[in-house]
């Protein structure tokens, strides 16, 4: 076989490997080019800042979901937990009279506790994560309505600051970038993060290797709840109030962002950078469709098709690895 043929095969392999590892990024670039051609308003500075603000809530929520999916679970409650956390923070500030910073910490603690309950139900209660978090979805949304009596509650200045600006840069974008760095560090540079991959890849093998699988599952869901709380507070800061129906359906966006970013629903595979790109894909699609005056009904159809394609690609990828 000639050297030229070997080089061609090596180049083809490298391209396929790059596309397999960075398919979402390539798709995002193609999508941005297409929208730039379709509408000149897409690449304006104002619109790009708007995309950054919009993606902040979805991405932060999806970072927590990444931990769960990498560990082989699923969390359907993150949207409801986000709303509950913001409402608890608002209630602490308005009704309990706590200082704003304590009310903010109270909201984060509420999300953390909800996540820990999910983890305990899944790890020690032997409930499938789908069922445990489906129950929490209803419980958290119900508690949000009970606390608020179905009405918005004003947030503290500290929470409102999360939706404001830090100089010329929107605060949600700053928090998004910091959250991405923290989540990436936790997943890639800590023992717990590496254990998530082991548990998601093969929980029984991880247990036989001496890993505290149940404790890791509780930590994973606790982190998901904490990131959901932060996302809820970001949303409340942007709205300057905690809304009882906030973040409805956001759990589907979070799952979609993780899967589009290259994670496997079977567990053991996923990256924070991929999740960030996946969240960008979702938000850019919605933003572009809005600029093109496409109705919200058709936007839901398009997002559904994108999710189906992402899951289909994940299935094919797993088949190729197992064959």
The pLDDT, as a whole number, for residue 17 is 59
Nearest CA-CA partner of 159 in 233, 56, 82, 95: 233
Predicted confidence at residue 5, as pLDDT, reads 57
Q: Within 10 Å of residue 237's Cβ, how many Cβ atoms?
A: 26
**CATH for 43-322 (1.10.3470, 2.30.30, 1.10.10, 1.10.1200):** 1.10.3470
H or E stretch including 35? helix 3-38
> What residues contact residue 53 under an 8 Å CB cut-off, 6+ apart?
170, 172, 173, 238
User: Rg of the chain over CA atoms, in angstroms?
Assistant: 20
Amino acid 315: pLDDT:
72
Write down the pLDDT at residue 120: 98
pLDDT, residue 3, reads 58
| Residues 6 or more apart in contact with residue 290 via CB below 8 angstroms | 299
This prediction's pTM: 0.92
Neighbours of 100 (CB within 10 A): 17
Q: Which two tokens stand for residue 186?
A: 């936790």
pLDDT of residue 212: 96
| Matching residue, tokens 């990024």 | 25
Q: pLDDT below 50 — which residues of the chain?
A: none
């Amino acid at each position: 076989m000639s050297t030229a043929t070997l080089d061609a095969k090596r180049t083809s392999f490298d391209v396929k490997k790059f596309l397999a590892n960075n398919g979402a990024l390539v798709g995002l670039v193609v999508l941005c080019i297409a929208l730039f051609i379709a509408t000149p308003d897409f690449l304006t500075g104002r619109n790009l800042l708007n995309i950054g603000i919009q993606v902040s809530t979805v991405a932060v929520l999806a970072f927590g979901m990444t931990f769960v999916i990498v560990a082989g679970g699923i969390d359907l409650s993150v949207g409801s937990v986000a709303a509950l956390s913001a409402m608890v923070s608002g209630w602490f500030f308005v009704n309990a009279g706590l200082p704003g910073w304590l009310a903010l910490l109270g909201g984060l603690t509420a999300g953390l506790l909800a996540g820990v309950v999910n983890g305990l139900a899944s790890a020690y209660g032997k409930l499938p994560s789908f069922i445990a978090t489906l129950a929490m979805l209803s419980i958290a949304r119900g508690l949000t309505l009970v606390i608020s009596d179905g009405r918005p509650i004003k947030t503290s200045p500290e929470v409102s600051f999360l939706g404001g600006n830090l100089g010329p840069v929107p605060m949600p974008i700053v928090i998004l970038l910091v959250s991405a760095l923290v989540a990436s560090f936790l997943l890639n540079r800590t023992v717990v993060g590496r254990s998530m991959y082991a548990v998601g890849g093969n929980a029984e093998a991880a247990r036989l290797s001496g890993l505290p699988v149940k404790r890791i599952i509780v930590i994973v869901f606790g982190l998901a709840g904490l990131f959901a709380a932060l996302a809820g507070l970001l949303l409340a800061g942007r709205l300057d109030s905690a809304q009882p129906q906030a973040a409805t359906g956001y759990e589907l966006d979070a799952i979609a962002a993780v899967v589009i970013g290259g994670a496997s629903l079977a567990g053991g595979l996923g990256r924070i950078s991929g999740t960030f790109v996946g969240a960008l894909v979702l938000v850019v699609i919605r933003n572009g469709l809005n600029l093109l005056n496409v109705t919200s009904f058709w936007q839901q159809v398009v997002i559904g098709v994108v999710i189906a394609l992402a899951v289909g690609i994940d299935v094919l990828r797993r088949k190729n690895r197992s064959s």
